[in-house]
Structure formats: structure tokens, C-alpha cells
Structure 1
């Protein structure tokens, strides 16, 4: 049992990281530690486990036994409470240069327990250009015993100067059987349900887990995949777009409302609102209004990110549906259908349209994703897509 056991279908990456962890142990003992470097870039498609691999590697670096998986050091890393691990996950649309500089200052400290100071930067591709330049300088001149673990979907998502200074660990999409095995053995999911979830999630481990364990997630998937057969006219296209955008807004509100209230309340207390006593008033002290405005901006950015991620997940579900239609139109032998449970709908659409029309619809969905990423009004972008999907 090691910290790497939870990485599904990543044997090659595990071998690289295990050797590096052993080399890191040699460095701590005063040796050369060939194979260990101060900056790593973890890449791979959504659901491949980039952050899980980086966190497992962090545990292996901080564990005296190279990531045994059962000591206090490993446990603290895996739950995010280890004093020598700085874990960063951008919540908004981007990660600013101010936030990056604050992170670099925190990274400059020496490890408290004598091994390594590890900075795990999830979604590092969200760093702005100025933030990436600041990050580059920190990676070029790292403090002793500081290790940067950056995560991004693909190497090209990072500045070439940052890529060239990092050792690349590329993760792949795990197979259906491997993901189903994890769901069945670790979460006691019945095999048929596990295999359905793994197939529908197309190797995305987190998505597969949610589909297997959460009835609400399965219901939302069914609602999205019912869209193609509902687009019988312009009015139906507009209604479908409204439902999709409204669902994304509701998910963003559900995920942020309570957190926003808590953050705002804590900040107001920090700046003295409600305090009493000599020299104090019950309003915010100087600087409080500016800090409150900055917090509100971050909260809006976070809500926008969650809404955009929710819409993007729905669009990817639609892409998988039309990809299956295309596979049936070409009678591609041996191609596993992600939505095999909807084979009747797939077959009906495959027979009533041409491969060229299916490709056009897939292009329309991908164009909608690009428009949303470019901050086009979601309702307008999704409506245009729905009209393009109409038979």
C-alpha cells in the first residue's frame, strides 16, 4: 500500500514519480539524488487525476518512507493539513499576479520538518500573463528544498519558458474497466452500475464516482442528453437553452451562496463591524470598504467560473452523444459507446441524419465552448448552438 495506489491506470507516471521520490530521499540524506528536480508539470485530460498524482508525489516527498500511505505525514498531505505543503486552487476565472507574489513569498520559507517545502499549484494554466512571469522567476531561482508541482491540461497551456524548466509528467485517460474496478472495490458500487458510470464518464474518475453515487448527477445527465430529441422547432431550441443556462446558474448559486455569506461575515468582523468600546464604531474601519469590494469581485469571478464549468460539462455530454451517433453512422466496429444506455435515441438520429450533419453539430458545440470561454453572453451562445443542433 502506497500513496500511488489510488492513481488509476497510470503505471508509467507512477514509475517516474516513485524513482524521483527515492532520489529525493537521497538528497535529504545528503546524497546527489539524480532524477529529482525542483519543478514538475503534471498534464493530462480532465479526469485523468493530475491533482491526485501531484498530491501523491507531495506525500512521497514529505514521507520518510517515500509515500507509505499510512503514516501521519502521508495522512496530513492527503487531507491538506501538512505544514510543509502549500496547496493552491484558483477559484475564479484567473489567478492574479498579486496572488502569485503572495504565494511565492510563502514558498520561500524553509521546510518546518526538515525535508521539503512543496507548492502544489492546481489549474496553473489560469495564471494571468503577468502572474506566469512572476511564477517563472520563482521557478528559475527556487529556494533550497522547495519543489513546485504545477498542474495543467496540456503542456501548451503553460508558457514555454515555464515548460522548459519543469519535468513533465503526462497522465492518460484510464480505461472503462479500470475505473469500474475502482468504483466497485473502493465504493462498493454494483458492477453493472460501476461499468455504466465509468463508460458514461469516459474515463473521468471524479465524474464516474459522482454518476455512480449521486442520483441527482444521473438525473442532470439524462436531462442534458434528452436535448437532441427535443429540438423540434425554434421555440424548443430557445427553451432548451434557457433550461441549460438556468441549471448552471442554480448550481453556481448553490455552491457559492453559503460560502459567500461566511466569507463576507468574517471579513466584516475582521474590519471591526459591530465592535463597541472607546474609539470604536459599529461600521467598517478604514480599508474595510476596499477589502469588501475586492472580496465581492473574487466571489463574482468564482460564481462565473462554476457556472461556466457547469455549462461546459453539459456541452461535453452533448459532444459524447453526437460522437456516438457518428460512430454508429460509420458502423465503427469495436468502438465503445459512452451512452450505450441511450442506444435507441442514438440509432434514431444516426438513421435520420448524415455523418456530415453530425460533424456540423459537433462543430457547433465546440464553437459554443469557445464563445463561452471568450465571455460571450451564455444565453446567446447556447441559443445559437441549439439552433445549429436542430434537425
Structure 2
């Protein structure tokens, strides 16, 4: 916390609780960037002031606050236009940061893989493009001839900067496309193997990574498979895919995805669309909610809205109400497609797994087979790839009662009784 900032917001909704929460979230975002709040300034308006965001009187109050508190920056709770940034900075003589810049900074710091770094950089450049403000020498034409006379006006420095950024975006997008194609190839391979995919989705810091690690731990998948988890905003930026092997010999893939937040910059949603494609291909979504947060209903609606924007439609959903221990709600508890649990205390995970199984393995068939002792490899196959409910050794061979994939039932149809 080596930097200080004043947090500024305008409430146009007239819903005081929503606005207060948005400002609280802004403070958490600032903290995630190592910036400490040195004060807050808010204003109730019917609409944002076009050129300055705030009214003139409030802007003067802000200027005085900046001088008194000696802050490094002023952080605004909305995305500002280029002219608003310029006008406010000229008035208060202090660096201006908007909510989008703050989120982009957090993403840039947390990105670990090549793909997430590229996605953040593309989003940052797209955000910068309309905000290149020409002044003084940047408006001067570049010389288009030899000698002292400018024999032909070239493009301005501003135009050159814009062109360079556009070229950089194109170059990064090409590299991203290659990574996206690799990911698609991996997905096709998984589809070929006929392994169902379950995606964890939800608001940032709802506990998706904690649930993933708890499920992996419960099914002895090994500590090396654990994903990074921490009680902070946007701890996960990379989509992690892990195989979960159940005691019933049923297998599914569990994916952990980037969390959402209110006023999530559209540049980021666009840049991370390729990562979020994992969600589009899922057989089941587990929508994780922090039930201890009084705003979890808004989080649910916002996540649903973003999922709709990226094209998620018709995929079954299970709602996992996490942190029930902090909300003083009875858990573990199951109500149709809802489960109340505590991932931190590892309670309610069996109930969650049973709900998952009921959805993704509902097409599995219960079959009875009689397999001659000469075909022992078929018995071995079912013991490894199906849920063997009963195994009896008879005179003619091994009688199996199994719950297996339709494909396996068709493949070994000759043994069916």
C-alpha cells in the first residue's frame, strides 16, 4: 500500500445500497493494485456531466481534497471518455484513473500464461486507441521530402501512433488465434474421448478455485493438480482444466474460468472470449455464488448476462451457494439444482458431486452382461471404464451389472442378457 488515491463516484441509479457496494468494490480493486484509499467523494446526479463527469462545485471540492491529502491519483468508478480524463486532469492537476484502467492493471499483474498476457495486452491497446490525445509536437506533420522545405505533408505523429497500435493489435490477435486453434484441437480430442466437461463460472472471488481444489482433493487427484486460489479479486485469469476420476470409474473434466465483476470492461470480455469458449463447449455449468455476500443475487444476474453475451445457451446449470458457513445458512443442503456448501470446510462436496453426476451421466445405461472367461479383457475394460454394480462368476462366464456409456453398451451388445 505505497500509493494513495481518492475514490470518486456518481450515483445515477438512486439505489443507495447498489452505489455503496460499487464504491466498496472500487476500494477493493484499488487495494488489489496496492493503492490505499485516502478518501471518497460522491455525488447524486440524474446523469453524468458530459465534459467533467462531476458537477463544477464537486470538481472544486475534489481539487481541494487532492491538495490536502497529497494523493498519487484519483480513481473514478466508471469508464471515462478521453475528453473527461483530459479536462479533469487539467482542473485537479493529478493523475486520473478510471475503473477500466484499474481492472486492466490488475489483469496485467496477474496474467501468467502467454495467452492471458496477450489477451490483457490486446484489451489495453484497444482501450488506449481512442484515448491518444494529440497536442503540440504530436500534431505536427512529419517531413515528406529532403532539404529544409517540407515538400509534402506526411501523417501526423498521432496518426503514426494510432497506426502502430492497430498494427500491434493485429499482430497479437494473430498469435492469439494460433493459441485458440491449439485449444480447439485439445477440445476436439476430449470430445473424441467422450469425456463430459463441467465448467465453474461466477463472480470474482466467489470461491470457484477453492471448490475445484476441494473436488480434486476429495477424489485423490494429487496435489500437483491443484490450481491457484486466494481470497482476492481476479486470482484466476487462466482457464485450468483438470480430470476428475470418481470411485465409480466415471470421469469428467472440471474447468476453472476467469471471474466476472460489475462494469467489467467490454475490451476484456472481447479479449477473453477465446478463453471463455471453454464455457460454451461445457456439458454442465456450476454457477458458484458467495452466499455470504449480501449482493449475491446481483452477482448471479450479472454473470448470467455476461454468459448470455458470449453465447451460452441451453447448457444445464447447478447453483453452488458457497461460503454457507459465513452466511449462517444450514449446509450441506440440496434443493433441486441448488447445493449449499462450504468449500473452505470441505462440506457439501459429496452433494455437489452427486448433482454433477446426475446431470452429466444421465445418458449412461444400466446393463447386464454375460462375458465368457475367454474374453477376460472385456471384464477388465468395464472394471476400468464403467461403474460395476455387481460381478458374479458363473459356469458360462462372468455376469456383470454395469452402468456404462451408450457407446460401450452398443460396442459390447453381443454380451447383453
In terms of fraction of residues, the more helix-rich structure is 1
Larger Rg: 2
- TM beyond 0.5: no
The TM-score, its normalising length taken from structure 2, stands at: 0.22
In terms of fraction of residues, the more strand-rich structure is 2
